């Protein structure tokens, strides 16, 4: 696995990209989760271009990325500093997004008019240097067309978004799925989106108040259909598979024997490792999408720990093909 603390991107590239951000442009850049499509969070016109390029509906708010914990105070009202400090100390930089009441200086377009803002500090040197050099927090959703597969390679970005002002190629992302999103409540948290930081990880720091998976309305981004390849996805045992398996791709957690009936079979992990599966999830779906298979059948993974985030993404990819 690449070490995100030692990046191979030339400093000149980062400084050129930072100039693009400062001028109101849009830059695709690597983070540890997936590639982001970033603009100056305080420049509403620049942020509007993110929505335009992604064809993202205006009701789906963006995550604002910062490079220093101090930057949080510029964006959010920190009502319970003790809780926030505990989370920051344990999980930042890292794939945890915290939703907090927003400062009025944060443009409404960033938060889709909500009174809250989602913030995180990515654990990726390229992303951190880009934010620092730009001298401003960077609002960034994933660098894909709305609803389609998230990018874990720079080439995935180029494929879906040919009109981005600048793409920084930092190689394959090391976590592979989007951040865990939480909101704070009392002395605990609510889960808005599962990720590789699990409820159990968070519960070591704060008690979980209520699992938002059963109460979906609070986060506009919790759409039922999302993260979809251009071809149908069926989850084995959950959806009625339509079509000839000889034209299909198969995706399993671990290498399986006897998948010869499928046109192409891929596995997400060499063993049974859910973290490795998360890293490879979107690149495997991109590969199947590009391979010419007509549809994809996926073997469900156990819904424990990181498996919960993987199944969240797969169910959204498969939602319209039940
Ligand atoms: P993306 O950056 O494409 O992975 O999407 C960011 C996701 O973060 C959104 O789709 C929402 O689910 C969530 N999010 C961002 N801002 C907020 C907010 N203010 N309140 C609740 N959820 C948010
Ligand atoms: Mg996204």
Residues 186, 295 within the same domain? no
Q: Is residue 78 part of a domain?
A: yes
Confidence of residue 211 (pLDDT cuts 50, 70, 90): low
Closest CA to 134 of 15, 228, 240: 15
Residues 142, 47 within the same domain? yes
Q: Is residue 219 part of a domain?
A: no
Q: Is residue 268 part of a domain?
A: yes
- C-alpha 96 – ligand 1 centre gap (Å): 12
| Domain of residue 274, CATH code | 3.40.50.11030
| Domain of residue 95, CATH code | 3.90.870.10
User: What is the tally of structural domains in the chain?
Assistant: 2
Closest CA to 314 of 242, 254, 239: 239
Q: Is residue 221 part of a domain?
A: no
Q: Which ligand 1 atom minimizes the distance to the CA of 116?
A: 19
- C-alpha 271 – ligand 1 centre gap (Å): 32
The mean pLDDT of 276-299, rounded to a whole number, is 95
Confidence of residue 164 (pLDDT cuts 50, 70, 90): very high
- Are 223 and 316 a contacting pair, CB within 8 Å? yes
> Count of residues for the chain?
322
DSSP string, 216-253: GGG-TT--SS-SB-SS-EEETTTS---S-GGGEEEEES
- Is the Cβ atom of 64 under 6 angstroms away from ligand 1? no
DSSP string, 25-92: --EEE--SSS-EEEEETT-HHHHHHHHHHHT--TTSPPEEE-SSGGGHHHHB--S-HHHHHHHHHHH-
Q: At what angle do helices 274-291 and 306-318 cross, to 10 degrees?
A: 20
60-114 pLDDT per residue, tens: 999 999 999 999 999 999 999 999 999 999 999 999 999 999 999 999 999 998 9
Q: Is 186 left (phi over 0), alpha (psi -120 to 50) or beta?
A: left
3-13 pLDDT per residue, tens: 545 578 999 99
Residues 62, 145 within the same domain? yes
The mean pLDDT of 153-175, rounded to a whole number, is 95
Q: Is residue 257 part of a domain?
A: yes
Q: Which residue's alpha carbon is nearest to atom 17 within ligand 1?
A: 118
The mean pLDDT of 207-211, rounded to a whole number, is 74
The mean pLDDT of 164-172, rounded to a whole number, is 96
Mean pLDDT of the chain: 92
Looking at residue 200, its pLDDT comes to 94
What gap in Å lies between CA 42 and CA 3, rounded to an integer?
A: 31
- Are 193 and 227 a contacting pair, CB within 8 Å? no
- Are 295 and 309 a contacting pair, CB within 8 Å? no
Q: Is residue 187 part of a domain?
A: yes
Looking at residue 209, its pLDDT comes to 81
Residues 134, 88 within the same domain? yes
Domain boundary among 164, 184, 203: 203
Listed in order, strand segments (DSSP E) in 142-202 are 166-167, 180-185, 188-193
- C-alpha 125 – ligand 2 centre gap (Å): 21
- C-alpha 41 – ligand 1 centre gap (Å): 14
Looking at residue 215, its pLDDT comes to 44
User: Does 76 or 226 have the greater pLDDT score?
Assistant: 76
Q: Is residue 34 part of a domain?
A: yes
Residues 61, 137 within the same domain? yes
Q: Is residue 13 part of a domain?
A: yes
Domain boundary among 203, 221, 247: 203
- Is the Cβ atom of 178 under 6 angstroms away from ligand 1? yes
Domain boundary among 183, 203, 223: 203
- Is the Cβ atom of 299 under 6 angstroms away from ligand 1? no
pLDDT of 26 strictly over 90: yes
Q: Which residue's alpha carbon is nearest to atom 20 within ligand 1?
A: 219
What gap in Å lies between CA 216 and CA 196, rounded to an integer?
A: 20
Residues 77, 29 within the same domain? yes
Confidence of residue 218 (pLDDT cuts 50, 70, 90): low
Domain, as residue range, for 162 = 6-203
Residues 199, 252 within the same domain? no
Residue entry with tokens 């390679």: 153
- C-alpha 267 – ligand 1 centre gap (Å): 29
């Amino acid at each position: 696995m690449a070490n995100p603390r030692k990046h191979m991107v030339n400093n000149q590239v980062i400084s050129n990209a930072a100039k693009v951000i400062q001028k109101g442009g849009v830059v695709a850049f690597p983070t540890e989760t997936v590639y982001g499509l970033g603009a100056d969070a305080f420049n509403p016109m620049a942020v509007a271009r993110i929505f335009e390029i992604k064809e993202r509906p205006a009701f789906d708010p963006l995550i604002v990325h910062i490079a220093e914990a101090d930057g949080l105070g510029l964006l959010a009202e920190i009502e319970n500093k003790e809780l926030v400090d505990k989370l920051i100390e344990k999980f930042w930089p890292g794939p945890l997004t915290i939703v907090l009441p927003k400062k009025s200086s944060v443009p409404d377009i960033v938060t889709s008019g909500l009174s809250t803002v989602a913030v995180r500090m990515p654990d990726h040197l390229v992303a951190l240097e880009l934010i620092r050099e730009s001298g401003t927090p960077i609002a960034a959703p994933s660098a894909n067309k709305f609803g389609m597969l998230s990018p874990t390679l720079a080439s995935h970005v180029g494929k879906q978004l040919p009109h981005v002002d600048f793409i920084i190629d930092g190689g394959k992302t090391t976590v592979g799925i989007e951040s865990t999103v939480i909101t704070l409540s009392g002395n605990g948290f609510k889960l808005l989106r599962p990720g590789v930081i699990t409820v159990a990880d968070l519960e070591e720091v704060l008690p979980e108040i209520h699992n938002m998976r059963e109460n979906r309305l609070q986060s506009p981004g919790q759409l039922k259909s999302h993260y979809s390849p251009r071809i149908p996805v069926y989850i084995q045992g959950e959806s009625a598979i339509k079509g000839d398996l000889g034209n299909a791709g198969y995706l399993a957690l671990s290498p399986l024997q006897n998948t010869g009936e499928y046109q192409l079979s891929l596995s997400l992990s060499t063993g049974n490792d859910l973290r490795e599966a998360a890293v490879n999830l979107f690149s495997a779906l991109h590969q199947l999408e590009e391979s010419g298979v007509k549809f994809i059948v996926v073997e469900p993974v156990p819904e424990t720990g990181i498996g919960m985030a993987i199944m969240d993404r797969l169910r959204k990819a498969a939602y319209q093909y039940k």
